[in-house]
Structure 1
Amino acid sequence: MSVRVTIVGCAGSFPRPDSPASCYLLSAEDADGRTWNVAMDLGSGSLGALQSYIGLDRLDAVIISHAHADHYLDMVGLHVALRWNPAGWSGHPVPVYAAGMLADRLALVAELPPDPGMHAEFEFHTWAAMKTEHIGPFTVTPYPVDHPVEEAYALRITGPGDDGAQAVLAYSGDTDACPALDEAARSACFYLCEAAYHEGRDDAVRGVHLTGLRAGESARSAGAHVLALTHLPVWNDPVRSREEAREVFTGQVETVAAGDVFVLHGAGRVDRG
């Protein structure tokens, strides 16, 4: 048993030619051998790419880090898929874990009345800071972080590893450096961390995003094993982001690309799938 992380989209702010915006597919088996599939963020352009990996009827839940378009907007398309499929929707309402305002925000974007909005197709659950949610074989704990939106969370996710070990994934969402981010990533075997800014170019802007250097500092402070940089906008140089992180973090550093797969075995062991 292990946790499989598929990079569906990793572009920052809006899709790049080679990648949708943020979306990551988490897959793992439960104790009964059933495979669970959870989409972590569903940003602009990601719904089409997600269907390259699973049919939408195999999606067990969606977890959203925060309500900026590059992290949630394709929820509108998913609602259309559930609501208007001529063959009908075979499953129950899809559980969605997000900030409390998301249901009304989605209704507004889709020009629906808030009641019923999308409540027939989605079963909305509201994040509470530090309260752990259980989704099949996964546990998910949201940590409030530093980003200019009503609620922004880093997510700490545990799932089954090999030989009884526990696989720990940390996902920064969008944030600048803050203590809660380091706590979310504490001893994570795989730390999926945004690096939307560059040192020297974006120094005047704080409280929004990390640089590769600040992502590396967070990984070092947290004692993470593998740092995987994501949320790189089209104007960023991935090599520069990686080198910034390597200045301060001596562990393994990756810059992810759409289509990459990582297998988390637990105890710090991560392989490419």
Structure 2
Amino acid sequence: MKLTILGCSGSLPRPDSPASGYLVESGGTRIALDLGNGTVGALQRHLDPFELDGLFLSHLHPDHCSDFGALTVLRRYHPDPPRDPERSRLPVFGPPETEQRLARLYAPNAAELAEADLTDVYEFRSFDAPAEVGDFRVTALPVDHLCPAWGFRVAAEGRVLVYTGDTGPCAAVEELARDADVLLSEASWTDSPERPDGVHLSGRQAARVAKRAGARQLLLTHLQPWTDPEEILREATEEFDGPVRVVEAGQHHSI
């Protein structure tokens, strides 16, 4: 597998990075995990967005899904698309309200919010069962966040990438990360007993998940713009003996 960091900033974009978004490729299959603010622009540097085979949205906070709007403009209004969007609808996997909430971006007026529809270009699917998209098998489990949120276990070619999405410490994250080749974990803030439960992970907490789950490598993402990456890295390396990196936008990682 090949992982490309489209954006890795937590809560909002930074000057040097869009918000959360990750391109994963295996064989001839390409999927995106989240599309936060600015990620569709970054995606176009690496791939024609029409070549995506699936989109997985961990939750519906803007820093993880707002560029779905940009992708929709491209798929609906491109004057010369390389393929017919209506005949190759993109599978979109997301929380139960994904279709209704994101379709409302395109309602022509308030009176038509309830009738907004994007099924001409998308095929909306749930997380009821593991998803098979080309070379990928993606298993989703609900995690502990401020809204309904899921983490993903992405398997292909005998390798496993796990992406936490946004979460506080919980059993589901460790279950997803069990024996993963790479754990791509949020580490939004530094460790402190004053942090609220069920919101985010610190660098130390992410490393503990990786250690307990037996993950082989830890990649840290979703650092908020005011969080010191050196401090996050220090916390993580104190807890986890394997390779640890704080990711940057534009990086490629082989899995």
- Give the TM-score of the pair, scaled to structure 1: 0.88
Check if 1:238 corresponds to 2:235. no
- What aligned pairs does 1:27-176 form with structure 2 within 5 A after superposition? 27-29=25-27, 35-88=28-81, 90-91=83-84, 92-111=88-107, 113-128=113-128, 131-149=129-147, 151-160=148-157, 166-176=158-168
Structure 1 stretches of 5 or more lacking a match? Answer: 30-34, 161-165, 265-273
Measure the CA separation in 1 of the matches of 2:248 and 2:76.
Answer: 31
Structure with more helix by fraction: 2
Equivalent residues of 2:175, 2:213 under 8 A apart: yes
Determine helix, strand or coil for the equivalent of 1:26: strand
Determine helix, strand or coil for the equivalent of 1:247: helix
Give the deviation of 1:62 after TM superposition: 0.7
Check if 1:196 corresponds to 2:194. no
Give the deviation of 1:89 after TM superposition: 5.9
Aligned-residue sequence identity (percent) comes to 39
Check if 1:229 corresponds to 2:226. no
Task: Provide the aligned C-alpha RMSD in A.
Answer: 1.3
The letter of the residue matching 2:165 is G
Give the deviation of 1:124 after TM superposition: 0.4
The letter of the residue matching 2:68 is M
Give the deviation of 1:111 after TM superposition: 3.0
Check if 1:18 corresponds to 2:16. yes
The letter of the residue matching 1:94 is L
How many residues in Structure 1 have an aligned counterpart in Structure 2? Answer: 248
Measure the CA separation in 2 of the matches of 1:14 and 1:52.
Answer: 21
Q: Name 1:163's counterpart in structure 2.
A: none
Structure 2 stretches of 5 or more lacking a match? Answer: none
Q: Name 1:212's counterpart in structure 2.
A: 203
